[in-house]
Structure 1
Amino acid sequence: MSTNKKLDNEASEELLATLKGRFEQYPQRHQGLQWAAIEDKLLAHPSRLWSIDQMEATGGEPDVIGLDKATDQYIFCDCAAESPKGRRSICYDHDARIGRKKYPPQDSAVEMAAMMGIDLLNEEQYRLLQTLGEFDLKTSSWIHTPAAIRKLGGALFCDRRYDTVFLYHNGADSYYGARGFRGTVRV
């Protein structure tokens, strides 16, 4: 995902300070990585910085969780303890939202992620995130759903209970106050 939007200088500086503080606070998420190199990448890709700001603004608390050596891209992910507050009470995608006859939600996970310029986590990414901390102990998060499941009307979500990561299914048009989504951005 990408976007052409960018932050003004003051907003960029404020976000970079927040990200640096989080980077220093949670070193276990990005062992062996150096903030200066990450900051250089962020400054060179203003549209990605804008997307990370969208993650921050909706309560995602984005942080660096790795470096993809094959593409030389840093991976930012929503690391809020619970599913981001500004992205809850939404169904899975546009078709589910439009198809819901009674009380459709205002938005969907797939539409919001596209607008923000981020990607929904898939199951593998969600499970990797859970090795870096304990997330979604009280909430759950929609994850990328394979087309075959979505074609049949379903969608997938995950959470962590009993010190175990669970994968579930639900109708794609369902939505709950405690279910949102987590995203990722590569820079």
Structure 2
Amino acid sequence: MNTAKREVSSELQAEILSILKSRFEKNMNRHKDVEWADVQAKLEANSEKLWSLNEMEITGGEPDVVSIAIGNDKKTDEYIFYDCSAESPKGRRSICYDHQALEARKEHKPENSAVEMAADMGITILTEEQYRELQQIGNFDTKTSSWIITPEPIRKLGGALFCDRRYNTVFLYHNGAESYYAARGFRGCLRV
């Protein structure tokens, strides 16, 4: 896990906030009844979360606030960002599911795993519920697929789960956790 200090310079902070604000304003259907000024205030108060959002951005995730059923958590006064890129983020593909799967590969190991990469970025991988709710606000992963959090009983048996959208339907599949494909990455979630 990356233990380096997770801070952003004032220049990078301004750049990230500008990108996020522009995306927020172009996609109001993702976050009805959410005001950008409130989101920005939370972000400006938390440099580590901005660092994570920048990591999501530079790996192709196009993070945005979502206020679907589990999006804007009024009980905890948090905003939730999901990767909203049309396809699974480019900078996070060709990776297996977790470190155990990576270590199990004898040859042709991928560079990283989804679980480790998400932890290094300070984000979590979407659950099946989150993935399905994301699909309610758009059509995502119509050509790619994304690893999702896998229940421990499945993982103990060597499997891992992923989802995609085909034929206007969200599908849940399984694969060996050590497998990796050029068209499979993962989508992340960040609470702010």
Who is 1:165 aligned against? Answer: 170
For this pair of structures, how many residues does the alignment match?
186
For 1:9-62, what per-residue CA distance to the aligned partner results, in whole angstroms no more than 9, with x for missing partners? Answer: 000000000000000000000000000000000011110110010000000000
CA distance in 2 between counterparts of 1:151 and 1:70 reads: 34
TM-score, normalised via structure 1 length = 0.98
Q: 1:148 is aligned with what amino acid?
A: P
Aligned to 1:84: 89
Q: Report SS of the residue matched to 1:159.
A: strand
Corresponding residue number in structure 1 for 2:40: 39
Specify the alignment match of 2:55 in structure 1: 54
- Check conservation: 1:90, 1:175, Cα contact below 8 A: yes
> Offset at 1:110?
0.2
Q: Tell me which amino acid in the other structure corresponds to 1:13.
A: A
- 1:70 Cα offset (Å): 1.0
Q: Distance in 2 between matches of 1:143 and 1:34?
A: 29
2:149 to 123, 144, 147: 144
Amino acid at match of 2:15: E
Q: TM-score, normalised by structure 2?
A: 0.95
How big is the shift at 1:90? 0.2
Q: State the shift of 1:102 in Å.
A: 1.9
CA RMSD of aligned residues (A): 1.1
Task: Point out 4+ residue stretches in structure 1 off by more than 4 angstroms.
Answer: none
| Structure 2 alignment gaps of length 5 or more | none
Shift of 1:150: 0.3
Aligned-partner Cα distance in 1 for 2:106–2:55: 30
Q: Note if contact 1:3-1:47 (Cα within 8 Å) is conserved in structure 2.
A: no
Contact 1:60 1:84 in 2 (8 A): yes
- 1:75 paired residue among 75, 80, 84: 80
Same amino acid, percent of matched pairs? 63
Report the alpha carbon displacement of residue 3 of structure 1 after superposing the two structures with TM. Answer: 8.1
Q: Deviations over 1:44-90 (max 9, x none)?
A: 11101100100000000000002101111000010000000000000
